[in-house]
A and B are shown apart, each in its own frame.
Chain A
Amino acid sequence: MRFWKAWFDIRQRFVLCFVLVTLLVAPETVSVAVSSAQAGAVAEAAGANVEEGTLEAAEAYARMVGSWSGGDYHSVFSILAIVLAVGGILSTGNARSNLMTLSLPAKRGRWLSAQATVAGLLLLILCAWEAFIVIATGWGAGLDVPEGQLLLAIALTSISGAIWVWPAILSTSFTRESVRAALIIVSVFVMMEAVLGATPTQAFNPSSIADLSGWREGVPWPGLLVGVVMGGGSAWWSLARFRRMEF
């Protein structure tokens, strides 16, 4: 029943994210479809080799996937994190309903682990849905979609994104922790930007490692300091509260 309740708590946010992902992915997929159709039409009219047009479309498609995994994809997760964290705050109800839950004979860690597991599964479904849209669009445009590579690229990017979206999902039952999770996420971003000149998604994504030429000269102390203070403070606060089970 803990898992059922976790799904119950998360489901509205999941549906919201599902719609959000679809909407965010749609413009990209439409542009791929259009470019592939145009390329095909031009090639045929010129009597040129049709494969050339397909190749161009495939390149556009690859650029799109590349832009996702290397540059833009993290923005999807940023929005997801915000939606999930804010959704958590808004839909949590109040502290007293938490009190009712906490009065049940189950350890707090078990509530959280059920929440984390269900949230993780739903995140995978979201990622799979994105992959499905991209692949389906590619097929619809008559492209030779490298499904295996594509899935791998999306999976790696998704996992790296999930690493920092996860705290927001995990915290959905507990208002204060949602705020803390949001603080941790922001501080991780600040630190990563400060040190690497890249977001966590870019930094952890193998396909974009090559682009991490932005190692900065010298250490940007102000950004690093802000990140350390925010992240350290939030983490300490969370741990202290968790240990005392006060929320």
Chain B
Amino acid sequence: MSRTLIDATGLAKSYGDCLALKPLDWRVEAGSITGVLGPNGAGKTTLAKLIMGITHPSEGSISVLGRKVGGDPVAIRAAVGFVPEDKLLYDEMTVGDFIHFYGSFFSTWDSAAASNLLEKWSIPLKPRIKELSKGSRAKLVLGAVLCRKPTILLLDEPTIDLDPTSAEEVLSLVAQWVSNGERSVVITTHRLEEVERICDQVLFLLAGEPVLQADLDDLRAGWKLVRATGSALPVSETQRWEGVRRVESGPGWIALTVDGGVNQVTSRLRDLGATDVTVEGVSLREVYLTLTDYERGRLDEVLEGVV
């Protein structure tokens, strides 16, 4: 049985009247890579702050490595390696200064590994951080965090500034990082294809509300796209069917995004006279768009006036 590294129970956070994170029950097991997804302002950074003990829960509790976060935040921060989304940090420091400064906080710091990584990524020690490209900054921070050997890696958009080759390297590193089964990674990102590639768990946040958390394999097995053709298919009725998350339709066709109960949906469609009923797997992008109520063509009218 794997060890639980993060354990949140009824975890909620509000800033005044604004509920930044609605009650969340969430567990992160050792050896897992969890993708935290959601639009901007969904509560992802708030969750990261709660994990590190930078801010305190308004309700519920969160434990990291078996320790309640409010009790000993320093010990928890020593075990959680955080890579912020914005890599504009300590701009005036040289790379060497930053490595020395950052490493001094950790007894587990591996300076040889840091030198190797910087050499491998061709990041010299002398330039100031502000002189580095965005990609090099991202690698510098990630490299530094890896070299302190945290038990939990908390990555906020780790590949956003990276070219495809560097992004690939980083993703490989992350996947390798958890391979010993003792560590875990939590990634917040908008790059859904990366989540599909390396994550095994996902947590969707929407306006602070945890709308879905699932094992990615279960999600792939449960979520399907059912297409059917036929005349006069009752669109509004299908929207009320159990498991139907989203309905798109056009003249003579209908497409239902379904979360479970796919056999029931297909048979009901056939009962209504649908022909050519097919079932396809859905991408994480489709799941995301479904959860965020994306409506195709919503801006068409506006764009017509603009373009």
Contacts and interface: CB of A to CB of B under 8 A. Distances in A.
B101 A5 contact: yes
Contacts of A102: 52, 54
Interface stretch (A19-27, A90-98, A187-195, A215-223): A90-98
Interface in A51-98: 93-94, 96-97
A59 to B, nearest CB: 47
Contacts of A1: 100-101, 104-105
B75 interface: yes
Contact of A96 (B15, B77, B88, B100): B88
Contacts of A8: 90, 92-93
A97 B86 contact: yes
* Residue of A93, A97, A99 ringed by the most chain B CB atoms within 10 A: A99
A93 B91 contact: yes
Contacts of B101: 1, 4-5
A148 interface: no
Given A103-B82, A106-B105, A97 B77 contact: no
A205 to B, nearest CB: 36
B272 interface: no
B89 interface: yes
A97 B55 contact: no
A26 B16 CA distance: 50
Interface string B259-296: 00000000000000000000000000000000000000
Contacts of A107: 73-74
B183 to A, nearest CB: 17
A121 interface: no
B26 interface: no
A46 interface: no
Interface string B71-90: 00111011010101110111
B224 interface: no
B143 to A, nearest CB: 14
B80 A97 contact: no
A100 interface: yes
A105 B89 contact: no
A97 B104 contact: no
Interface string A1-30: 100110010001000000000000000000
Contacts of A106: 74, 105
A99 B49 contact: yes
Contact of B77 (A93, A105, A245): A105
B89 A97 contact: yes
B75 A105 contact: yes
Contacts of A5: 101
A54 to B, nearest CB: 49
Given A94-B88, A105-B78, A99 B106 contact: no
A99 B105 contact: no
B74 A96 contact: no
Contacts of B102: 104
Contacts of A100: 82, 84, 89-90, 141
A109 to B, nearest CB: 11
A8 B93 CA distance: 8
A245 B54 contact: yes
A6 to B, nearest CB: 12
A1 B56 CA distance: 26
A4 B90 CA distance: 12
Contacts of A245: 54-56
A4 B73 CA distance: 23
A93 B49 CA distance: 19
B84 A96 contact: yes
A246 B89 contact: no
Interface string B90-126: 1111000000111011100000000000000000000
Contacts of A94: 86, 88
A107 B73 CA distance: 8
B56 A104 contact: no
Contacts of A12: 92
Nearest to B89: A97
Contacts of A4: 101
Closest 4 A/B residue pairs (Cβ): A103-B82, A105-B78, A96-B86, A97-B89
Interface of B: 15, 45, 49, 52, 54-56, 73-75, 77-78, 80, 82, 84-86, 88-93, 100-102, 104-106, 141
30 contacts: A1-B100, A1-B104, A4-B101, A8-B90, A8-B93, A12-B92, A93-B88, A93-B91, A96-B88, A96-B89, A97-B84, A97-B90, A99-B45, A99-B49, A99-B54, A99-B82, A100-B84, A100-B89, A100-B141, A103-B82, A103-B84, A104-B77, A105-B77, A105-B105, A105-B106, A107-B73, A244-B56, A245-B54, A245-B56, A246-B15
